[in-house]
Amino acid sequence: MSFWAFGTMRLANFQPLLTAEEDVVARLLTGAVDRLGDGSCPAKPDPSRVVRAAFLRFLMLGGEDGCRPHEKGVRISGAWITDVLDLEACLITRDIGLSNCHFEAPPVLRAAIINRLFLDGSSLPGLEAERMEARGGVYLRGAQVLGEIRIPEARLGGNLECDGVTVRVTGGYALNAEAIEVRSIFARGSTLDGGINLSGAKLVADFDCTGAAISRTDGTAIAAAEMENRGGIILKKVHIDGETKFTASRIEGDLDCTDAVLNNPGGNALDMSRMEIKGAFFLDGDARPSGALVLTGASIGTIHDKEACWPRKGDLLLNRCRYGGFINSPVDARSRLDWLSRQTPERWGEDFWPQPYEQLASVFREMGHVEDARAVLIVKERLQRRARRSRASNPILRAILLVQDVVLAATVAYGRQPLLAFVWLCLFWAAGVAVYANADRLGALKPNSAVVLRSPEWTLCGVDRSEQRFLTVTQQLANGRAEAGQSQLACFREQWEVSSYPEFNAWMYSLDTLLPVIEIGQKAFWRPDPPKPGGTLAINYFYFQSVIGWALSLLAIAGFSGLVKSP
């Protein structure tokens, strides 16, 4: 017949007491830990250590007169506990201390209301504590668990401490604390073969897994989506096999992955999409993410990282990620462009993500690195325009876009460096000086005036002194004025009538030709003479320079106004 068949239990129902139970009763009111044997976790059911689970339940629920537990609660170490310790829906106002005990069946505390629970160093086949409420914490430090620790939707006033615990499961999570409300969760130095589920959990302070080994190769090793944490998440020196998932979680402290090994090749090593971190994200030391680092839509206070810790090419997603700055990290365009280049939108079915470049440039500007910001935006323009060309189905349109992009890149760096157009203007100005100076040296210039070109001063300078020419103006023959071997231009400049004619200046002539909005006066008085040696080059460059001057001037204006930048 069951012990519970007659309702309220009495000590008499457990007579005769087992040897270990007699020891517990004898010291029940002292409040001291009742050490059975040497107090260590028994490897076999020694008669001097065996305690029935029903007897423990009787004591935890208050016992009876003459056999009531101390105010500190039931505190036993080194017991072999038979059957199921079933405390489901029970109200227990004292501590439950069953450290270094061996349980034959998982303890059941579903919907129980307790003070504190100590299972440190114990060996359990699992723990069933769904919806449990505790004024204090739950302690499983150094425990050996061969089943799932189930504590979802529990409410703890203290911590869930699993430091040094070893949990191995064949199905489910090693630690299932979904939607738990707790101060802190500690799993430092623990081995959790089966992973952790903290989805929807609410923590007042920290989640600390420093030095832990967590694995769930067929799924998510740490499932912490939509977790709310007013402290931080510490994954220092952790070794995780499987996905670590913090999707849409919010933490007010830091996410520290210093020296962490996050191993999930071919999948997501660390998923922080839509996560909000008010503090810092650390990916430093010897951190090694093997798999995708997903920061899509994340919001991060600051980033602390180094190049050796960045994921390999194709394993970084930064689209719509926002962050405030870099601290103790590379802060230069070269390094950070390498960081951004590890994104491959094609892997995820897209051609280009412009936002990560805009975000990086914005952060650089706020940190005072204006030149680095400009370099990032130039690369962004180049890649964005290349993606636009690849989307064009018409080959003619693609060719037009290519020419346009090449011109804009070379002249104004897609509008990001409009002063580059003035560099080109200076180059064409200098080239013009060389061309026009050479034309002047070879006598390949002539006055740009019909009156002067018909005057005797010019026409007779084209005739040797030993020859004569009929002048239609005077209707007379006149002797030539050019010395033997002298060019018409050189002769013309020696005439006293020309003393008032503006002197040719190659520097000013090139500038007058190049700048369409400035009238210096050289172009109005001189012009290259194509029939003369060097004249053909000069006249062709004259036309080219006039066109290029207009084009570069307009591009410079468009660059300053932002018309050529991508929206």
Give the pLDDT confidence of 347-365 residue by residue, as tens digits: 888 889 999 999 999 999 9
pLDDT at 165: 97
Percent of the chain with pLDDT over 90: 57
Does some domain include residue 89?
A: yes
Q: Which of 24, 132, 19 is nearest to 73 (CA)?
A: 24
State which residues form the domain around 115: 1-125
Radius of gyration of the chain (CA): 44
Q: Is the per-residue pLDDT at 210 higher than 60? A: yes
The pLDDT value given to residue 72:
85
3: confidence class by pLDDT, cuts 50, 70, 90: very low
Q: How many Å apart are CA 319 and CA 347, to the nearest integer?
A: 13
Whether residue 512 lies inside any domain: the answer is no
The answer to whether residue 527 is domain-embedded is: no
Q: Is residue 485 part of a domain?
A: no
- The span from the CA of 341 to the CA of 314, in Å, is 9
Tokens of 417: 């460096």
Task: Convert the pLDDT of each residue in 235-285 to its tens digit.
Answer: 999 999 999 999 999 999 999 999 999 999 999 999 999 999 999 999 999
Kindly state whether residue 57 falls inside one of the protein's structural domains: yes
pLDDT band at 31 (very low <50, low <70, confident <90, very high): low
Specify if 121 maps to a domain. yes
Instruction: Let me know if residue 426 belongs to a domain.
Output: no
Residue 497 φ then ψ, to 5°: -65, -20
Provide the domain count of the chain. Answer: 1
Strand duo 526-528 + 445-447: pairing: antiparallel
| Residue 146 confidence (pLDDT) above 80 | yes
Q: Nearest-CA neighbor of 332 among 362, 301, 371, 304?
A: 371
Q: For residue 186, is it within any domain?
A: no
Residue 2 has pLDDT above 60, yes or no: no
User: For position 211, what pLDDT does the model report?
Assistant: 97
Backbone angles phi, psi at 368, to 5 degrees: 90, 10
